[in-house]
Amino acid sequence: MSIDDTRIEGIGITSRKVREKLIAELQRQGITDQQVLNALLTVPRHLFVSDALAHRAYENTSLPISYNQTISQPYIVALMTSSVLLDAGTLKKTLEIGTGSGYQTAILAQFSNRVYTLERIKGLQDSARQLLEQLHLKNIVYSHRDGVDGWAEEAPFDAILVTAAAWSNVMVETLKTQLKTGGRLVIPFGPPNNQQLHLITRKQQDAWEDRVIARVRFVPVLSGISMS
């Protein structure tokens, strides 16, 4: 599912030239997947932040959004996306835990037949859903629920991507069982000052490979749901 670039071409902070500068920086940091780079070039990050921060949308940094959450650094978005892809081509079913601003959702929608995205904060997901629908991304399924348990009734998934830091091995083990054989889970894990980004691949029915791919800093996964 692609976004029509003519809808987002503009001047100043939203110009293609500014976005191309970000892409060049990501390439210098080791992001080589051209499809992922093209997705970050095309998806309009400035629409996923407040007007007050729009001038910083194409900086390679995380930014605050509503409900004390953040939109992830473009490098981390690119790294996580390329890690779940790993030359897999188009994914059939992808699970995203933590819709947040919807930016990572929009990136994943470029590579998956169906993205299942869940969010515990209703107001946050409602805002993201409105924007994603305005961008005509129609291959996304939304759910307001606790992300700790994943989305078992829609499993197995080709890929699972978690956009907050897990603190419980129970959550990790639960999500591992929701992968299909050959599927990949990308999940940050650990306390705020010692988080690592893990790439977990289900090699066989009861065999997984776990590899640390980066040190990161994410907001923690919280249990329960919020109706606000």
Can you name the CATH fold of 62-216? Rossmann fold (3.40.50)
For this structure, is 50 an active site residue? no
Helix (H/G/I), strand (E/B), else coil: 205 = coil
pLDDT of 156: 97
pLDDT of 32: 95
For the stretch 139-150, what's the b/e string if a residue is b when 16 or more beta carbons lie within 10 angstroms of its beta carbon?
A: ebebebeebbeb
Domain boundaries, the chain: 62-216
pLDDT of 86: 82
Residue segments in the chain with a per-residue pLDDT below the cut of 70: 1-14, 88, 228
| Among 15, 50, 62, 72, the one annotated catalytic | 72
pLDDT of 113: 97
pTM of this prediction? 0.92
**Dihedrals phi, psi of 52, to nearest 5 degrees:** -65, -25
pLDDT of 28: 98
User: In angstroms, what is the C-alpha Rg of the chain?
Assistant: 16
**Amino acid sitting at position 2:** S
The residues pairing with 71 across neighbouring beta strands, listed in sequence order, are 63
List for the chain the helix, strand, coil content (%; round to 5): 35, 30, 35
Contacts of residue 193, Cβ cutoff 8 Å, sequence gap at least 6:
none
